[in-house]
Chains A and B, each alone.
Chain A
Amino acid sequence: MKDQPVSPQPRDIDGNPVTPGLPMAMLAEITHRCPLACPYCSNPLELVRAQGEMPAEDWARVFRQAADLGVLQVHVSGGEPGVRRDLAQIVEAARDAGLYVNLITSGIGITRERLEELDRAGVDHVQLSLQGIRPDMADRISGHPGSWDKKMGFAAWVAEIGFPLTINAVVHRQNMERLPDMIDLAETLGARRIEVATVQFHGWADLNRKALMPTREQAAFARAVVNESRLRLRGRMVIDYVPADHHAIYPKACMGGWGSTGLNVSPDGTVLPCHAAPSIKWMRFENVRERSLSDIWHLSESFNAFRGTEWMPEPCRSCERKTVDFGGCRCQAMALAGDARATDPVCSKSPLHAGLVAQAEEDATGDTAEFIYRRIRK
């Protein structure tokens, strides 16, 4: 890495000067390979193949650079991170760099012996995904026969070894009625936390809108279940909740603001402000194999594009919430408004909001029979 004599002034997409903060968390998608085929997978439609994945020593360098940059926690994720045989080596490198290691896993393909190896390597916390309740539902949604039984076995090992456990339950039209059972299951499994996340309609989920879009009644039901469960489980289990944003008044502050506190590294080393960012086709993303993480964070066009508030058009520009939700999700603006700069159409102030709500209501009456499962394209 050469020292640059003068750092250029970071500028947003319109050339306004911006001041980058420091990232706290990094999502390390060490592989896109996965035994599951969930129809709402957050990986991009164009998946990185095995031969494109960064080796463990590259990840070790990225973790050191991340820690030097201010990152405190890494989410080691995928795909299914357990697909990589050098997972323990990758985890160990992250701990050596001083990072707190969250393992984000489907629980499929990690044996008891490997989980013990990951314990020795320094995994701090395990987050286990849940696609549904009982084998019929869970296996159909994940596209993986036997997934339910394997997950329940994995969860038992997690408890025996003593890792703190978070259950990540992704909810949508086809499983939302079972949310109370998922919360009960998380408690039974000894989870300290459950994250109830309504599907976000990017990438694969967008292809499956008609199969996954919750109804307005379901969204209200989920909210009520979460509220009731929080009261009942106070001090026993924390419930984090990502509501159905198509039924919301204001958008979510995705990533806590673009390029403000988090970053993603793809299996091939591409560094993204958000995992869905590749859906912004005109944006160029840099690779940590070619440039340092610090330079990419501070100086790249992609990270600076939507920092601050000067780039915002109306109605965001004059909105008092512009530093609360930052205009919502750039990728959703791209997908729904055809313009990554636009106000996120899930915001009730967006001129596209009424059309979006009408479309969501229509999608929610869609045919639920068929999923387009996530697959690596041949």
Chain B
Amino acid sequence: MTVQPAIPRPATAQSRPQPTARPAPLIGSDDIPYLPRGVRLADDRVRGIRVLQAPERALQLDPIGDAILSELDGNRSMAAIVSDLAARYHAPRDQIAGDVRDFLTGLIERRMVFLRKQP
């Protein structure tokens, strides 16, 4: 869902795909995903798109990615977010859960989304 990769710099350091030996971070349904400091949603008024601004990276978001990230209010759990999205888009809950999990897992691995455990 994110396509536009790196902010280029001289002889740019490109993030390569992470090797898969260590398991991906698991997101529990009670976990609260949130955008940490230094990561924010923004309008790219020149290109007419939505972007995720992060340290030395700007990712182009499609409407689905934008919708998911717009749900991260720092209060609601994964389960609540998935329920709300499923209701709003009239889509099967399992399908939404899988999409959200895959999307957020990628961003967690890039340190652009953090997880907080339920108090």
Name A residues whose Cβ lies closer than 8 Å to a Cβ of B.
Answer: 22, 24-25, 27, 42, 67-70, 72-73, 75, 98, 100, 102, 124-125, 127, 162-164, 166, 192-193, 195-197, 200, 227, 230-232, 234-235, 237-238, 240-242, 245, 252-256, 260-262, 274-276, 329
B119 at the interface (CB under 8 A from A): no
B55 at the interface (CB under 8 A from A): yes
Supposing A73-B56, A238-B111 touch, asked if A256 and B46 sit within 8 A by C-beta, the answer is no
**30 interchain pairs, CB-CB under 8 A:** A24-B8, A25-B58, A42-B10, A70-B47, A72-B51, A72-B53, A73-B56, A75-B9, A98-B42, A124-B55, A125-B54, A125-B55, A164-B38, A164-B39, A164-B55, A166-B56, A192-B111, A193-B56, A200-B11, A227-B19, A231-B19, A234-B19, A234-B24, A235-B109, A238-B109, A245-B11, A255-B10, A262-B7, A262-B9, A275-B10
Give Cα A75 to B14, complex, Å. 17
* 11 further A-B pairs in the complex, CB-CB below 8 A; given A24-B7, A163-B37, A230-B19: A24-B8, A25-B8, A25-B58, A73-B7, A100-B53, A102-B55, A164-B37, A164-B55, A234-B22, A261-B7, A261-B8
Q: B10–A274 contact, CB under 8 A?
A: yes
Residues facing A in B1-36 (CB within 8 A) are: 4, 6-16, 18-19, 21-22, 24-25, 36
Give Cα A371 to B37, complex, Å. 39
Q: Which residues of chain A have C-beta atoms less than 8 A from B16's C-beta?
A: 230, 241
Q: Which residues of chain A have C-beta atoms less than 8 A from B51's C-beta?
A: 72
Interface centre among A42, A235, A262, A275 (most CB of B within 10 A): A235
B102 at the interface (CB under 8 A from A): no
B110 at the interface (CB under 8 A from A): yes
Q: B15–A240 contact, CB under 8 A?
A: yes
Give Cα A236 to B39, complex, Å. 16
Supposing A73-B56, A234-B18, A238-B110 touch, asked if A124 and B38 sit within 8 A by C-beta, the answer is yes
B94 at the interface (CB under 8 A from A): no
Q: Shortest Cβ distance from A297 into chain B, in angstroms?
A: 12
Q: Which residues of chain B have C-beta atoms less than 8 A from A253's C-beta?
A: 12
Q: How many residues of B contact A (CB 8 A)?
A: 37
- By beta carbon, the residue of chain B nearest A255 is B8
Q: B53–A200 contact, CB under 8 A?
A: no
What are the nearest 6 A-B pairs in CB distance?
A240-B13, A164-B38, A256-B8, A125-B55, A70-B46, A192-B111
Q: A254–B12 contact, CB under 8 A?
A: yes
Q: A22–B10 contact, CB under 8 A?
A: no
Give Cα A227 to B16, complex, Å. 10
Q: A72–B44 contact, CB under 8 A?
A: yes
Count: A-B pairs, CB below 8 Å:
124
Q: Which residues of chain A have C-beta atoms less than 8 A from B14's C-beta?
A: 240
Q: Which residues of chain A have C-beta atoms less than 8 A from B36's C-beta?
A: 164
Q: A27–B9 contact, CB under 8 A?
A: yes
Q: A163–B10 contact, CB under 8 A?
A: no
Q: B7–A195 contact, CB under 8 A?
A: no
Give Cα A176 to B110, complex, Å. 25
Supposing A75-B56, A125-B56, A255-B8 touch, asked if A242 and B13 sit within 8 A by C-beta, the answer is yes
Q: B38–A230 contact, CB under 8 A?
A: no
Q: Which residues of chain A have C-beta atoms less than 8 A from B42's C-beta?
A: 72, 98, 100
B108 at the interface (CB under 8 A from A): yes
Give Cα A166 to B13, complex, Å. 13
Q: Which residues of chain A have C-beta atoms less than 8 A from B55's C-beta?
A: 102, 124-125, 127, 164, 166, 192-193
Q: A276–B10 contact, CB under 8 A?
A: yes
In-complex Cβ contact of A25 among B7, B21, B25 (8 A):
B7
Give Cα A75 to B55, complex, Å. 10
Q: B38–A125 contact, CB under 8 A?
A: yes
